[in-house]
Amino acid sequence: MSSHCEYIRPLLAELVYGEVDTDVAEEIREHLGSCLPCRRHQKAYMAVREELQRWQPAHEHIPRGTTFIAPGPHAAAPLWRSHWVQGLAIAAGFFSIAFLMAAAVNLELRSAADGWTLTTSLWNAPAMAAATVPALGTASEPAAPEPQEPLTVSVEQIPGIEAWLEQKLAERAYVTAAQLGAIELTEPQVRQVSGLLAVERGTLDARHEQRLSELVSAYDAQMREFVTYNLASLHDDLQSRQSVAHADIVSLVDLLQVDTRRRFEQTENRIDYLGNLVTAAAPAGREQEN
Amino acid sequence: MTVKGDVQAFNEIVARWEGKLYSFVYRYLGDAEEAKDVTQESFVRAYSHLEGFRGQSKFSSWLYQIALNLCRSKLRRSTAHPMVSIDGRQEDNPLWAVADERPTPAEATLEQERVLAVREALAQLPEAQRTVIILKEYNGLKFREIAEILDTPESTVKSRLYHGLASLAQALGHLQAEEN
């Protein structure tokens, strides 16, 4: 095997999966034209791909009756994140510190007829350190807490809340989009389609290229327009109310996120569709390449 | 965001990715039931760590990473406590240890034999090569995406694909040993 064959062989694997740069593909084709062993390898790799595709069993799709359900909020959360566990940990810490302090000052708690007596030998001043706590039922009952009004947020009372909310919404929209892979949609998808363009450039007509660039620029414009629109709606909604319940704000944020997600998906589908158009536009080029 | 909203949003994510994730896990483990469990567990893990996802990688890559780690754990456990295969031919092969879907003689056809040969050849590959081939061939991912999932350079992914294909070509009789 010549050194050029050694260089070409790994590239053949990339070629049979159609993921190789145009100039490299051209170089491979030139080599294949004059090298029978490498042609044999190329055919072998294509045959392997065909064989791999034979494994399309009944289990290709999720068995019927199987439904994946997002778990409940507490079922999957780590134990240390449970509020109960956190509360217990804080309480345990508090009592540990109290116990250690009590031991350090030689604290003593005694039961007496008129209640409980707390004494300490610290500073050798029992008169100052002793305190009597009334027994249960001997002291006056503390006043019952007054029922609290449900928490509401008044727009006027909190300066800058709208700006803060807008910022949070923008951040949240970004995070949601990132979680769905939508923010990354711009660059990778464009790169993906651009990659197709690079491979198929020779067979693409100007109309497809024009359509692609329109779509890519429209994507950013749509995003800006949509987020701006939703923020404006939220702003109007806030302005029209004297007081906005916290739950209302949460609902609005939820609505914004769901709508944003749909918009992202629609755009993604359109880019996929265009990718298919681009692929379909150049079957001859790919066949020749393979 | 409300808990209800979180669950609703996450269910949308599950609906979108469950097919692709299951397809990968099934081909990796070779057993439908195990694949179902691991896929479900992957979503549970993803849900419980959703706050930790900061979008440095694609969400799908993150999901694949979780599933792959679970698959590897599953195989390690299978290797530590290997199941006994029917004819004792593949004891050392975890892919066969968890699944034996070979047809009975009556059901055997040429096509089924060939599919079994493909599965066996895949199972014989080193795990790193097998993973790349599954992600590339059956999940249709780009080299860049596979590199992100495996946290390895693209050049390594390409190299694994090449060596994997070459081994498969030999194992399936498309290339002679001396040709490789």
Residues B55, A84 contacting (CB under 8 angstroms):
no
A286 pLDDT higher than 80: no
- Cβ-Cβ pairs closer than 8 A, A with B, add up to 151
CB contact under 8 A, B58 and A73: no
Element (H, E) at A109: strand A108-112
C-alpha torsion A238→A240→A243→A249, nearest 10: -30
Element (H, E) at A101: helix A83-104
Residue-wise over B98-110: b if at least 16 C-beta within 10 A, else e? bbeebeeeeeeee
Phi, psi of A134 (to 5 degrees): -60, 145
Structure tokens at A198: 């690079």
**pLDDT one-digit tens code per residue, B30-85:** 888 888 889 988 988 888 877 666 666 777 888 899 999 999 988 887 765 443 33
Mean pLDDT over B10-32 rounds to 85
Nearest CA in chain A to B49: A77
Backbone CA torsion sign across B92, B95, B100, B106? negative
CB contact under 8 A, B5 and A257: yes
Higher-scoring residue by pLDDT: A75, A211: A211
pLDDT confidence of B168, banded at 50, 70, 90? very high
The single residue listed with the structure tokens 């066969």 is B96
Task: List the 188-247 stretch of A: residues with Cβ below 8 A of B.
Answer: 188, 192
CB contact under 8 A, B172 and A49: no
CB contact under 8 A, A13 and B162: yes
CA–CA separation, B137 and B139 (whole Å): 6
Name all domains of chain B by residue range, CATH numbers in brackets: 1-101 (1.10.1740.10), 103-180 (1.10.10.10)
A89-98, A230-239, B23-32, B123-132, range with greatest mean pLDDT: B123-132
Q: How many CB atoms lie within 10 A of CB A122?
A: 13
A179 vs B contacts (CB less than 8 Å): 13, 50, 53, 55, 59
CA–CA separation, B62 and B58 (whole Å): 6
B179 vs A contacts (CB less than 8 Å): 37, 40-41
Nearest CA in chain B to A252: B1
Mean pLDDT over A130-135 rounds to 38
**pLDDT one-digit tens code per residue, B111-166:** 778 888 999 999 999 999 999 999 999 998 999 999 999 989 999 999 999 999 99
A161 close contact with B: CB closer than 8 A? no
Phi, psi of A74 (to 5 degrees): -95, -25
Phi, psi of A181 (to 5 degrees): 75, 15
Residues B61, B149 contacting (CB under 8 angstroms):
yes
CB contact under 8 A, A13 and B165: yes
Task: List the 3-42 stretch of A: residues with Cβ below 8 A of B.
Answer: 9-10, 12-14, 16-17, 19, 37, 40-41
Q: How many CB atoms lie within 10 A of CB A150?
A: 7
Percent of chain A at pLDDT exceeding 90: 3
**pLDDT given at position B54:** 62
Residue-wise over B15-42: b if at least 16 C-beta within 10 A, else e? ebbbebbbbbbbbbbbbbebbbebbbbb
A48 vs B contacts (CB less than 8 Å): 165, 168-169, 172, 174
B32 vs A contacts (CB less than 8 Å): 59, 63
A73 vs B contacts (CB less than 8 Å): 3, 6-7
Distance from CA of B150 to the nearest CA of A (A): 17
**pLDDT given at position B106:** 54
Q: What is the pTM of this model?
A: 0.49
